[in-house]
Structure formats: C-alpha cells, structure tokens
Amino acid sequence: MIGVILGTRPEIIKMSPVIRECERRGIDYFILHTGQHYSYEMDRLFFEELELPDPNYSLDVGSGTHASQTAKVMTGVEDVLLKESPDIVLVQGDTNTVMAGALAASKLHVRVGHIEAGLRSFNRWMPEEINRVLTDHISDYLFAPTETARENLLAEGISNQKICVTGNTVVDAIYQNLDIAKKKGNVLNDLDLEPREYFLVTAHRQENVDNRTRLKEILRGLEGVQKEFSLPVVFPVHPRTEKRIKELGIGVDGLNLTKPFGFLEFLQLESQARLVLTDSGGVQEETCVLGVPCATMRYDTERPETLNVGSNILVGADSGKILEGVRSIAAWKTGWENPYGDGIAGKMIVMVCAAARSQ
C-alpha cells in the first residue's frame, strides 16, 4: 500500500499524476490531506476540478507557528499510519506537511519517498529550505526532478542508489490538466482579457508579504509595470497577502486584484500571459514548461534550471529592479528547452514504489 500525504494546493496539483497512475494500475493507496493552509472543505474544489478521488483522511490542522503546525501534522499522520500500515509514504515538495509527514513515517520505520528531492536555494533563512534538507536526509527514495537536483543530493553525501531522476510531475500535471481545463469555461473571456495582452502576478512567500518594506516595493513595482506597458496586471491575491496588505495599510493603485482562482482557471491565465511575475517555485516551473517568460520576485531560487535555459530571471523585491526586469524580458521569444522531463514522472515514481512494495 502507498500512502500519499499532501497538505497544500500545489501539492495536490503535483501529486495528481501519481494518484492517477495508482488508479490506472489498480494499486492500493490512500490520500491523507493535512489541511496545512486551508481546510479540506476549501480544497475540495481542487480535487473536484482535477477529477481526483476525495482524500481518505483529512486532518484540518490549519495555520499556526511552524512548531505547532508541524506537531499537529506529525500526530495526525502517525495515527493514520498506525492504522493503515503502508509499505511506503510519498510526500512532495518542501512544506511543513512534507517534513512532518516524512518524519512521522520514518519514526515508524515506514519507507519514505520524497518527490521533488534535491532542490536547494542554499538559503537557510527560508523555512522551506530546512524542510527540503531534512526530508531528503530521512527519505529512502529520492525522486529528483533534474540532474542538478541529483548532484545536490550527492554533494550532501546521500547515496546514489537512493536517487532516481524522474523529471518533475509538474510537466505531467500541466499536460494532463490542460486537457481538463479546455473542457471548462474560459477565464480570459470572464476577465475581458486578450491572449498575451496582460501580466499575471502571484505573491505569497513569508519573506515578501510579512515584510512591510518588501511588500510595498513589490506593489510599487507592479504599479510601475502597469503604467509603463498600459496592460492589465492580474493579481489573484493569496489570503495571506490580502491580510498583510490590509494590516499594513498599503494602498494599491492600477492593479486588477482578484480572488484566488482554481488551478484550471489559473492554468488558463498562466498559459496565455505575456509574462508572469511571482515568488512561487511551482510557478517558475510551470511557466518554463508552458513557454511563458517569468520574473521571480526573490533574490535566490531552488529552480536554477529555469535561469539556465532562459525562461526566468530574478528581480528581487525592489520596485526599480522589478520594472527593469520586465522591460528586459517583455520582448523575449519562447523556444527554450524544457529541463523538467517529458511528462512521465508520475509513472516512473509509481513504478519504483510498486517494485519497493515487493521487497
């Protein structure tokens, strides 16, 4: 039996190819949703949109300090693992759910597979970096998306025998879910947008939105982009970001602030944007796969492959640098090579897990 542990919307998206492959192969598995950022009821739309089965277990741990959230996830995961006794547990990414789920499984001597292993920003101030490193070092199977990620793991003394370079499940998810998205409505029509005639923005990282100076600079930079290019800047506002904007009393001018979208709607917007500005790691990957230029509002990234192929640049959290960066890439042509594989990562991961169950 395979235990699939997830807790955030990006994890649902990137785990969707693995879940679909388990279904296709008739493999016994269960889904445990921790509800790290949202309750399961709020995330139910994602499962429905992506045509995935409902989770078997929902913890609804909610937000909180890193310590309290990690403790709640570990306690809840431990209870489920004792009940189900899976052969292997799969976690994806770098959240508290990932680290806590992997640690709970490891303490019970349940094998752990880490999807998207080996990513490094080399910035230990980021809580995600701590989660990545700890999870990699207690995992039994490390599913690295690229050769760069594999090299990071080897440099930290992890055995090559534990590592499997699979590509990134984001490629599978985009290919599979674009097909689903095409059957749904057209969000561009709903927002009165023309393809390649708008910018798309996401911002949610703690180091950006919890810092008044950085958040204000990001918003001023986005306002500058809108004024200079006279194109809509569509900004689906993450609940954390919306809360901080209100708490800090920061005015916003000229931006098209919207509610968060479901993944299929966001995928439509992302695939047709002229350029995307983000602080999200997953969006850096998605734009690279979709052939859409990306400006990352951070000073480092655990996705250096996007920089290397020329789909992405770092513009930091400075209004002038953001505007300068958009100027430099607004006229980019697509055509870079996708470094994240050919869309079979989910199949490879499940194949390794199926073999592991017989050992």
Q: What is the pLDDT of residues 186-198, one digit of tens each?
A: 899 999 999 999 9
In a domain, 337, yes or no: no
Residues 153 and 279 in one domain: no
Residues 118 and 188 in one domain: no
Q: Residue 312 maps to which CATH number?
A: 3.40.50.2000
pLDDT of 39 reads 61
Residues 48 and 80 in one domain: yes
pLDDT of 346 reads 97
In a domain, 48, yes or no: yes
pLDDT of 40 reads 62
Residues 280 and 322 in one domain: yes
| pLDDT tens digits, one per residue of 201-217 | 999 888 888 888 999 99
Quote the strand ranges of 260-339, DSSP E: 275-278, 294-296, 312-314
Residues 162 and 202 in one domain: no
Contact 90, 115 (CB under 8 A): yes
Tell me which residue range forms the domain holding 320: 180-329
pTM for the predicted model, two decimal places = 0.87
The C-alpha R_g of the chain, in whole angstroms, comes to 20
> What positions carry a catalytic annotation?
204
In a domain, 334, yes or no: no
Q: What is the mean pLDDT of residues 81-97?
A: 97
In a domain, 6, yes or no: yes
- Per-residue confidence at 359, pLDDT binned at 50, 70, 90? low
Cross-strand partners of 294: 276, 312
Residues 184 and 72 in one domain: no
Total domains, the chain: 2
With a CB cutoff of 8 Å and minimum separation 6, the contacts of 351 are none
Residues 257 and 139 in one domain: no
Contact 3, 84 (CB under 8 A): yes
Residues 211 and 283 in one domain: yes
In a domain, 121, yes or no: yes
In a domain, 129, yes or no: yes
